[in-house]
Amino acid sequence: MGARHYAFKGQLDDAFAGTSTISRGHDAPLTLSLQADANGHPDLINGQVTDGTWTADLIAVRSSSRGGKNKNPWNGSYTVIFLGTNTDASIPAGNGYATLRVSPTGQSTMAGTLADGTSFTSSGPVANDGSMPLYAPLYNGQGSLLSWLTFTNRRDDNLNGSVSWIKPANAPRSHLYPGGFTNEIQAIGSVYHRPPGTNQAIGLSDASVAFSGGNLDTGFTNSITTAKSGRIVNQGSNRMTLNFSAATGKFTGTVVPPSGGKALPFSGMAFQRMNSGFGFMPITDQSSSVVIAPNVPPPF
C-alpha cells in the first residue's frame, strides 16, 4: 500500500480458512481473510483485505520456486515494453521499457523507466501457471504500477498483460504530464539474448526510426543502416545518433527534428521477438513515441 509493506500471521482452520488483523498505528486496522484450496484448487488462495470502508479482493498463486537442478522454466533475461498511445494527449504516446531477469529458482527482478521519465523497480516470484505479480509504488507512494503479467510463447511476445498506471496531478519530481492520469496500458516482453561479438541487439541492416505523437507538431522518420562493426549509420538529412547496449538491449540517442532546433534525447529497449525497438522522447511536458523497425520490401 503506497510504499509501505505490512506483515501478517495467523492460522488456517479445518476448512483451510483464516483471518488476521493488521494494526496500522493512527490508520484504521486492516482485516485480511484467506481461503486456501479455493474451489478445490490446491495452488490457489482467495481472500479479501478491508479497512472497513473499502474492500480489495486478494488472489495468491503458488510460486514456482525451484531448487537444485530443477530450474524454473521461465528463467532467463527479458526486455519489457509498456506501450504508449497516440489517441489521447493527456497520457503518454511514448513507450516505457524495462529489463527483467528470472532466476533459475523462479525469482523475478524488473527495473525500468516509464514514458514520463519515472524509474521503478519490482521483484517477486513467478507462479506455477506462469503468472508474475508486478507492483511498484511511484511518486513518493502517491501512485503505482500494478499488474499480473503472464509468460506465454506467442508469435510476437513471450510475456504480456494489462497494467494499471496511476499518476497523481503535480507528482513530485515529474514534469511530464503534470495533470496526472489513471491509465490502463499494455505490457509485452521478449526473451533477450546478448549478441555475440557485436552490439547488434537486433538485426537492422536496413531499418527506420519513427518519431510520433507527444509534443511533436509533425512526426518524422529517419532511415538507418548498420555497419559490420555494429555501428548504426544515420541515412537521414537531419542529424541523429543511436547506440545499443549489447548487455541489456537498451538504446539511447539524440535527434534534431527536420524542422530544426536543438537535439532531443531519446531512449528505449530492443525487442528481439519482433526484431524491433520501442522507446520514448521527452519534449516540454509530453513524451513522443520512438519505434525502430526493419524496412520490409513490398511483396512484388
CATH value at residue 103? 2.40.128
- Do 48 and 84 sit in the same domain of this protein? no
The total number of structural domains in the chain stands at: 3
- Do 112 and 179 sit in the same domain of this protein? yes
- Do 187 and 211 sit in the same domain of this protein? no
Q: Which of 191, 226, 245 is the last residue of a domain?
A: 191
pLDDT of residue 68: 65
Residue range(s) defining the domain that contains residue 40:
17-61
pLDDT of residue 298: 54
Q: Which of 163, 191, 219 is the last residue of a domain?
A: 191
- Do 84 and 32 sit in the same domain of this protein? no
Residue 9 lies in a domain: no
- Do 49 and 81 sit in the same domain of this protein? no
Residue 119 lies in a domain: yes
Shortest CA distance to 100 belongs to which of 53, 134, 71, 66? Answer: 134
Residue 300 lies in a domain: no
- Do 156 and 102 sit in the same domain of this protein? yes
pLDDT of residue 200: 79
Per-residue pLDDT of the chain (300 residues; tens, 9 = 90+): 888 889 999 999 999 999 999 999 899 999 999 999 877 888 899 999 999 999 999 999 888 766 667 788 899 999 999 999 988 889 999 999 999 999 999 999 999 999 999 999 999 999 988 999 999 999 999 999 999 999 998 899 999 999 999 999 999 888 999 999 999 999 999 999 998 876 678 888 889 999 999 999 899 999 999 877 778 899 999 999 999 999 999 999 999 999 999 999 999 999 999 999 999 999 999 999 999 999 865 554
- Do 100 and 48 sit in the same domain of this protein? no
- Do 224 and 181 sit in the same domain of this protein? no
- Do 33 and 82 sit in the same domain of this protein? no
